[in-house]
Structure 1
Amino acid sequence: MRKHSRRFREILQKVEHNKLYKPIDAIDLLKDLSNVKFIETIEAHIVLNLDPKYADQQLRSTVVLPKGTGKKIRIAVIAKDDQLQSLNEEADIIGSEDLIQDIKNGYLDFDKLIATPDVMPLIAKLGKILGPRGLMPSPKAGTVTTNLYDTVKQFRLGKLEYRVDRSGIVHVPFGKLNFSSADLMINLIALYNSIDKNRPSGAKGKYWKSMYLSTTMGPSIPLDFLMMKENII
């Protein structure tokens, strides 16, 4: 059985686990409960009626959080030299075959890798390096594109990828606790709408099963997610 710290046990007592919280109330409660010395990330954990072992029940997409993620990310771009000129200062790292070689030699000082379709055959040989770290560019993740400038800008502003895990759960960070409750709510609604819109074709019956909000060091709050669908926040 997992053991919790005294700090965690004390704040856990302030959560009514047999209650489904209104989304805005859950956000406010997590902000009130936070008592650590750093700014926590707030996450949504969504249980869907999906079995990802079937191809038509897999969920993988992207969403642009209107209020951003609150996290600064280093973005690398691999493309032909003539396509890199348009990026100016949008990307942190740019390169072509030289950057591919650097990655092959162990350089991984970036959080997101974006590439154009014409260089993907060259990047494919880096699959064993990039794949386990979730850095391999993919059309489904929005990181393989012919529009480098706009794509880099979107990820800089708050675009992120989400996918369902093996147990049918989606885990998505959607901001920092120093965001206003209203801004966090806007991000959460954008995430809810995106997951609802991208319902896999093989999903049958009830799609949404349950939803929880939590923070880096905080408890899990059960959410009445139907209120977002009914515009009750």
Structure 2
Amino acid sequence: MKHGKKYTEAAKLIEKTKLYEPAEAIALAKKSATAKFDETVEMHIKTGCDSRHADQQIRGAVVLPNGTGKTVKVLVFAKGTKLDEAQAAGADFVGGQELVPKIQNEGWLDFDVVVATPDMMGVVGRLGKVLGPKGLMPNPKAGTVTMDVTKAINDIKAGKVEYRLDKANIIHVPLGKASFTEEQLNQNFDAVMEAIVKAKPSTVKGQYLKSISIATTMGPGVKVIANRY
């Protein structure tokens, strides 16, 4: 793959084989963000888990202390008083059964996170084929299937991010924007690492965290020392 001039210049700042301290890696990733837009800083954690085993799955959510830098649109499936509660808490869209054909037939997906009360999961389940592949299906582990819609909305708006193991046994999590200060990104990094370490399945054999790298949307990856976690 041929990279542009800016990427090549940015890559010169980073030693490919070196493992950096998290703060150093974040500083280098920030320096390598040269795109015209405010790039997202992401971390990629390769684990020793085997995602084919149900008892080695990792899925959860963490509230980043400094948010994600992104305005998140929340859709809430609820009924009765919970509809009013969701609206009062700042949900962007609220509704029930009437939203199913809009999403299913009209392809409406103008939202980033879906929250549902448990009594609405029968309705939401019908949207599995649409929401599932996009990672939008509400899930109790991520705190998006709950009766406490106010807390769910507040957490999401404050910068809650979901993390899950993909088929390659890697977890991808956004840490914020390149315009964040190094301190803000470091605090978000620490919050994610604490959550991932706590989420370690007891059945994992050998090394749990094999490698960690930090990169901006368009920038090269910076490897972080992983064996201390």
Q: Specify the TM-score bucket, using the shorter chain as the normaliser.
A: over 0.9
Question: What are the Cα deviations for residues 87-122 of structure 1, in whole angstroms up to 9, with x where unaligned?
Answer: 315100011222234223322211111000001111
Residue 56 of structure 1: aligned partner: 55
For structure 1, the residue ranges without an aligned partner over 5 or more in a row are none
The one-letter code sitting in structure 2 at the alignment partner of 1:104 is: Q
Q: Say what the alpha-carbon RMSD is for the aligned residues.
A: 1.4
The one-letter code sitting in structure 2 at the alignment partner of 1:79 is: A
Residue 166 of structure 2: aligned partner: 165
Residue 12 of structure 1: aligned partner: 11
Say which SS state the counterpart of residue 90 (structure 2) adopts.
Answer: coil
1:105 aligns with 2:105: yes
Q: Distance in 2 between matches of 1:122 and 1:39?
A: 37
Say which SS state the counterpart of residue 163 (structure 2) adopts.
Answer: strand
Check conservation: 1:75, 1:111, Cα contact below 8 A. yes
Check conservation: 1:81, 1:95, Cα contact below 8 A. no
Residue 28 of structure 2: aligned partner: 29
Q: Distance in 1 between matches of 2:125 and 2:204?
A: 31
Say which SS state the counterpart of residue 130 (structure 2) adopts.
Answer: helix
1:119 aligns with 2:133: no
- What percentage of aligned pairs have identical amino acids? 44
Equivalences for residues 70-89 of structure 1 within 5 A: 70-87=69-86, 88-89=88-89
Q: Once superposed, which parts of structure 1, at least 4 consecutive aligned residues long, lie more than 3 Å away? A: none
The one-letter code sitting in structure 1 at the alignment partner of 2:112 is: D
Question: What are the Cα deviations for residues 154-187 of structure 1, in whole angstroms up to 9, with x where unaligned?
Answer: 0110111111111111111110011110110000
Say which SS state the counterpart of residue 10 (structure 1) adopts.
Answer: helix
Residue 95 of structure 1: aligned partner: 95
Say which SS state the counterpart of residue 42 (structure 1) adopts.
Answer: strand
Say which SS state the counterpart of residue 37 (structure 2) adopts.
Answer: coil
Residue 43 of structure 1: aligned partner: 42
Q: Distance in 2 between matches of 1:34 and 1:139?
A: 35
Say which SS state the counterpart of residue 132 (structure 2) adopts.
Answer: helix
1:189 aligns with 2:190: yes
Residue 220 of structure 2: aligned partner: 219
Check conservation: 2:210, 2:226, Cα contact below 8 A. no
Q: Distance in 2 between matches of 1:68 and 1:172?
A: 12
Deviation of 1:59 after TM superposition, in Å, equals 0.8
The one-letter code sitting in structure 2 at the alignment partner of 1:95 is: G
Q: Distance in 1 between matches of 2:123 and 2:54?
A: 27
Residue 201 of structure 1: aligned partner: 202
Equivalences for residues 112-151 of structure 1 within 5 A: 112-151=113-152
Q: Distance in 2 between matches of 1:11 and 1:180?
A: 19
Q: TM-score, normalised by structure 1?
A: 0.93
In structure 2, do the counterparts of structure 1 residues 33 and 122 end up closer, same or farther at CA, with 3 Å as the change threshold? closer
The one-letter code sitting in structure 2 at the alignment partner of 1:22 is: E
Deviation of 1:53 after TM superposition, in Å, equals 0.4
Question: What are the Cα deviations for residues 5-51 of structure 1, in whole angstroms up to 9, with x where unaligned?
Answer: 22212221221112111111111112222222111100111111011
For structure 2, the residue ranges without an aligned partner over 5 or more in a row are none
Q: TM-score, normalised by structure 2?
A: 0.94
Say which SS state the counterpart of residue 29 (structure 2) adopts.
Answer: helix
The one-letter code sitting in structure 2 at the alignment partner of 1:174 is: L
Check conservation: 1:81, 1:96, Cα contact below 8 A. no
